[in-house]
Amino acid sequence: MRHIIIFYYVLSFSIGLSALFFVFVAWLKLHETVLKYYFIFLFLFSFYLIINLIRIYLTVILNDQEPYINLITFSLYFIWYPFFLFFIPLFFHKLVGKPFSLFKKVLFILIGASYPVMLIMAIIAGKVPGKIYSIIRYEMHNIGGIIILLIIGYLIVFMIREYIRMDNGMIKKILKIFTIITVVFIPGFIVDFNIV
């Protein structure tokens, strides 16, 4: 069962790399701005899969439960979050042709910056790897999960609103697919972050 999980992540990552390659080639040929941000969008999810793959391999396959191992993997999430929280809303704004205002840019940058700040606070408060990991995993990770859930909620409302207003049939289909995938993904996300 453990190796099946690893196989699933490797397969998902391989598919992600293929998608990254084709989107990059398409961007080089067409020079569409939205393709550039879609490439970043896919790259961020691929990087998230890499972090999960490393964490599962070390803690599940190798059964290495050393505090510093868990600390390293969860720290990677906190480094990843700021980029995710800025570029994912930016991508959807570019997709529908809506300006990503200076206010929104500053807002999402500040929200994203809260994650490294939380990581630094945990390091200062915990002092030793085991305590730091405990603070990150059971306190700040859950706070971070709630923040991301709120961002996802914003994106769902944004996509539904733009779907209603959009005249471009192709963009409407893309928004519909992304909205359905996001809504389906939420329960697993809540369980993963132990939000409830």
**CA of 144: how far to CAs of 74, 82, 151, 162, in Å?**
12, 11, 11, 27
Task: Note the pTM of the prediction, 2 decimals.
Answer: 0.80
pLDDT in tens, 127-154: 777 777 777 777 777 787 788 888 888 9
pLDDT in tens, 112-129: 898 888 888 888 887 777
Identify the pLDDT of residue 103: 94
* Whole-number Å distance between alpha carbons of 141 and 21: 32
Task: Report the pLDDT averaged over residues 25-50.
Answer: 85
The answer on pLDDT for 28 being more than 90 is: no
Rounded to 5 degrees, φ, ψ at 188 are: -65, -35
**% of the chain exceeding 90 in pLDDT:** 12
